[in-house]
Amino acid sequence: MPIKILMPALSPTMEDGTLAKWLVKEGDAVSSGDVIAEIETDKATMEFEAVDDGVIGKILVAEGTEAVKVNTPIAVLLEDGESADDLGAAPEPTPQAAPPKPAEAAVASTPTAAPPAPAKSGDRVFASPLARRIAAEKGLDLSQITGSGPRGRIVKADVEGATAQPAAAPAPAAAPAASAPAAKPVDASAIARMYEGRAYTELPLDGMRKTIAARLTEAKQTIPHFYLRRSVTLDPLMAFRAQLNAQLEKRGVKLSVNDFIIKACALALQQLPAANAVWAGDRILQLEPSDVAVAVAIEGGLFTPVLKDAHQKSLSALSAEMKDLATRARDRKLAPHEYQGGSFAISNLGMFGIENFDAVINPPHGAILAVGAGMKKPVVGEDGNLTVATVMSMTLSVDHRVIDGALGAELLQAIVDNLENPMAMLA
């Protein structure tokens, strides 16, 4: 019987997508694992693979079509022995769980949260051969993964960003969504009437803008933020950086201040492991590695790619990885596992001349560091005399459910100590 190929959910926050390009045409034979289309999500352009063998009988959604809802049929696949005459008998897609609402997206993006089991027939788990191979290589339990393919089948995209976890681990995903206060809907027509007679351009919200709006609204409504502020003297770091860059010039490496900040935060999380934690609804998850997210501005929004195991990497390795992630973020080429997870984030607006600001926590992170510009300022030296130093302001936004005031203060002190003693970070 003909199989309907459905628009997949390629990210936890995806509700609809743009069918950017078909890589096959009607009449083409495809095998499981073949890439058949490119789909633009709210975050990136991703490849979509076939999960069954057959022939493309009919393309239902033309390439370039925007806002195609998840689970909408986009094509029909004919199995062996079937012809175009069988298209009228194509089955209706089996109802699947709706994609997560914005308020649930934060918990869904946590790599340690166990998603619900996929659709099964008896004890059988439906998965493509490629997905099974990847799952076996990564040690994943397929019964703990939700499939986004037809009839709940697990495909490559579902297992690429997943991490191994105990099969019996309970899923805490529903708690934050249930406790989130309902936001009063905005009356767009009423607001438009206020500006009748005034010239303006209406800009429809794309998927990324909708996701950013939903997540930041959720963050400010549900996370009890508190803020800690410190200044750091950068002169020792600037001198050390100049010395290192002179030595690394032949290798084509140039370290930025941001690279030192990433390293300082990663080491501080190791020095204070209780602060290396995330909020998971009905529990706190304390991470062992320092996975640090860094905000990257792109046209129309931002990404927070995650530098995993940042405490173990050299400054030059962090610099190269950050440049690569930032470049692919601006091209919207990041895979979901590259911008999900982490326990801590950095937002640096110093390059724009901003002296200080307060950043909004990206759930489920426990904290985010807002970094301002290094400014020449008069300071009182250790000898009591007035001198000039390069001073940078930092504000740590903290989730009080995860980190208490004293622990947050110790974390920020550790970051400052690392930045003011940069040579020690290489020890």
Catalytic positions, written as ranges: 400
Q: Which residues contact 400 (CB under 8 A, 6 or more apart)?
A: 224, 225, 226
124-to-117, 121, 362 alpha-carbon distances in Å: 11, 5, 37
256-to-132, 136, 217, 290, 351 alpha-carbon distances in Å: 41, 39, 32, 20, 11
Distance CA 289, CA 312 (A): 9
Burial class (CB in 10 A: 0-12, 13-18, 19+), 409: middle
Among 13, 52, 53, 55, smallest CA distance to 153 is for 52
- Structural contact between residues 366 and 344, judged by C-beta atoms closer than 8 angstroms: yes
Helix (H, G, I), strand (E, B) or coil at 406: helix
- Structural contact between residues 111 and 163, judged by C-beta atoms closer than 8 angstroms: yes
Cα of 260 vs its chain's centroid, Å:
22
Distance CA 68, CA 71 (A): 9
| Stretch (H or E) spanning 4 | strand 3-6
Phi, psi of 11, deg, nearest 5 = -150, 160
Q: Any idea how long the chain is?
A: 427
Amino acid, single-letter form, for residue 262: I
Helical pair 235-248 and 405-420, crossing angle rounded to 10 deg:
50
Phi, psi of 109, deg, nearest 5 = -80, -10
Sign of the Cα pseudo-torsion (209, 212, 218, 220, in order): negative
Among 422, 111, 412, smallest CA distance to 271 is for 412
